[in-house]
């Protein structure tokens, strides 16, 4: 992190300072054995379904599509 913050490239310095703002979350993400990747996958799937049905269907159909296994 210190080396990146001292880099000549502005984008790398900016990224390093962004990571430093939430260093506890970065450390937890790299060291803990569990993650939220399964939940994020479900959220992504629901967003995809929601976008594909936008303006075309009712909430009832969206609900049915979400609850139906892929």
Per-residue pLDDT of the chain (70 residues; tens, 9 = 90+): 889 888 899 999 999 999 999 999 889 888 988 888 889 998 999 998 888 888 887 888 888 888 888 7
pTM: 0.49
| pLDDT for residue 44 | 93
| Domain residue extents for the chain | 2-31, 37-67
Specify whether the CB–CB gap between 63 and 49 falls below 8 A.
Answer: no
| pLDDT for residue 61 | 87
| pLDDT for residue 12 | 92
Q: How many CA atoms lie within 13 A of 5 on its CB side?
A: 8
């Amino acid at each position: 992190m210190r080396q990146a913050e001292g880099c000549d490239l502005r984008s790398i310095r900016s990224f390093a300072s962004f990571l430093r703002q939430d260093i506890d979350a970065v450390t937890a993400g790299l060291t803990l054995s569990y993650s939220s990747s399964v939940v994020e996958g479900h959220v992504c799937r629901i967003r995809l379904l929601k976008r594909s049905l936008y303006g075309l269907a009712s909430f009832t159909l969206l609900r049915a599509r979400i609850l139906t296994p892929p």
